[in-house]
Structure 1
Amino acid sequence: MININTDHSFSIKNTLFSFALASEAADVFEECNTIITGIGKVNAAYELTKIIQEKKPSLIVNLGSAGSNFFQKGDIVCCTKFIQRDMDVRGLGFQLYETPLSGLPPILEYGLKMDGLQEGICGTGDSFEMEHSEVLYNVVDMEAYALAMIAMKEQIPFLCLKYISDGADDNAAEDWTIQVHKAAMAYGNLLGINKLSAERL
């Protein structure tokens, strides 16, 4: 079981774990239901939509690395709010980050809060952000908004945990390559998933 908070627990067998890259999952999650979406919102949206029609999970868990100049490297942050940080149609009179005519607000609020973790606002975009100065979001990734939106539309509970691998600054690329391999082990420890427990899933 995955115990998220006092109100929400889910069977690991019926949980879908979503990663952008196989390196973020390593071999920690090899006995679980996993999906490797590839990088970016389009890849994430396509792969998740395809697999939920087949698997019909009771919970979607997005795990991966992310940048932040607010949280510390090595922190695991629970994101419950999401911004599409590269959506800018202000020229047509819409708010910054608002998707025109979607009926969705600029900040999408959908996600479970996990006890014991700091809470963050994730800015998702199809760029590796290295000069983060935005104050509306404090975590930067490239997939979570799309995953959260699909989970919301499909009415599937969603948990988004981000391992802070870099500061979303000039050193982001170098820091990411060093830190990303640590994410899987950190998630495995947090969620109680490892090879020894795989047979009891």
Structure 2
Amino acid sequence: MQKHPVTGMVMATLMEAKPFVTDIPLEKTEEYPFPVFSNEKIILIISGIGKANAAMATFFLCQAYSPKIILNMGAAGAAKDGFSPGDIFHIKHIVEYDRPDFKTGHPHRYKPFVLDGFRLADIATQDKPVIHPEHRKNVSELAGLVDMEAASVAHACGKFDIPSTFFKYVTDTPDHHEEENIIKYIKMFRKPFSRFVITSVLPKLFNM
């Protein structure tokens, strides 16, 4: 498949994506089957929350636009201590915590494309939010961060031989996990996160 000189972006919610739409800026160009915002260099798709939504949106993005790379961004939880709300990480390893391999019984794993110069972390993806302390403890044995989309984005990109790269910002921790706090931190840190990606990440991707 011939790749186009555009960068694809997958985000779960418009709440997280709003600063990217306004600050890059991007115009809404599609509504169905997924909302799409774009300019001459970027195609941003809003997938919806969860693995199935992320997989379908990424598949659509790959098939319809054939981007040179796909960047998945957004909120993530911390599975262990040592993380603070607002911390930004570049993902170096993805574990699909709730999809074991039929032969080995081990979770599927993905190695995304990693850029130099950023703080790194591993992430575990599953469809169920990791809220309960015992659940966090189990997941923390495999990864420091948790989300509900990254593994599906990586999996779908692999089907098209399109590289994927991931940046996440922390919105809940073992000490900050109430739902109202998660929403508060998404809104509080989405602007600094978008500024970081726009100024520090996108220039590197554009120059690839």
TM-score by length of 2: 0.73
Q: Is the aligned partner of 1:28 residue 2:50?
A: no
Partner of 2:89: 77
Q: Give the letter for the 2:62 counterpart.
A: I
- How far residue 66 of structure 1 moved from its aligned partner, in angstroms, is 0.4
- How far residue 105 of structure 1 moved from its aligned partner, in angstroms, is 6.5
1:106-117 to structure 2, matched below 5 A, reads 106-117=107-118
Q: Give the letter for the 1:165 counterpart.
A: T
RMSD: 2.4
What runs of 5+ residues in structure 1 fail to find an aligned partner? 1-10, 88-97, 194-201
Deviations 1:93-125 (Å, cap 9, x if unpaired)?
xxxxx3325x99635232122333221111111
Q: Give the one of 146, 154, 162 matched to 2:160.
A: 154
Q: Give the one of 173, 180, 186 matched to 2:179.
A: 173
- Counterparts of 2:186 and 2:20, CA distance in 1: 14
- Counterparts of 2:73 and 2:129, CA distance in 1: 17
Deviations 1:42-79 (Å, cap 9, x if unpaired)?
11111111221111000100011000034221111111
Q: Is the aligned partner of 1:15 residue 2:15?
A: no
Aligned residues: 171
What runs of 5+ residues in structure 2 fail to find an aligned partner? 27-41, 200-208
Local SS of the residue matching 1:148: helix
Asked if structure 2 preserves the Cα contact closer than 8 Å seen for 1:18 and 1:36, the reply is: yes
TM-score by length of 1: 0.76
Q: Give the letter for the 1:38 counterpart.
A: G
- Counterparts of 1:85 and 1:57, CA distance in 2: 28
Partner of 2:151: 145
Partner of 1:121: 122
Q: Give the one of 35, 39, 61 matched to 1:51.
A: 61
Which has the larger displacement, 40-49 or 162-171? 162-171
Structure having the higher strand fraction is: 2
Asked if structure 2 preserves the Cα contact closer than 8 Å seen for 1:64 and 1:183, the reply is: no
- Counterparts of 1:172 and 1:159, CA distance in 2: 29
Distance 1:55-1:43 versus aligned 2 partners, 3 A rule: same
Local SS of the residue matching 2:161: coil
Asked if structure 2 preserves the Cα contact closer than 8 Å seen for 1:85 and 1:124, the reply is: yes
- Counterparts of 1:173 and 1:180, CA distance in 2: 11
Partner of 1:91: none
Q: Give the one of 99, 102, 107 matched to 1:100.
A: 102
Asked if structure 1 preserves the Cα contact closer than 8 Å seen for 2:94 and 2:110, the reply is: yes
Distance 1:73-1:54 versus aligned 2 partners, 3 A rule: same
Distance 1:113-1:23 versus aligned 2 partners, 3 A rule: same
Structure having the higher helix fraction is: 2
Distance 1:181-1:45 versus aligned 2 partners, 3 A rule: same
Asked if structure 1 preserves the Cα contact closer than 8 Å seen for 2:94 and 2:150, the reply is: yes
Q: Give the letter for the 1:76 counterpart.
A: I
Asked if structure 2 preserves the Cα contact closer than 8 Å seen for 1:129 and 1:169, the reply is: no
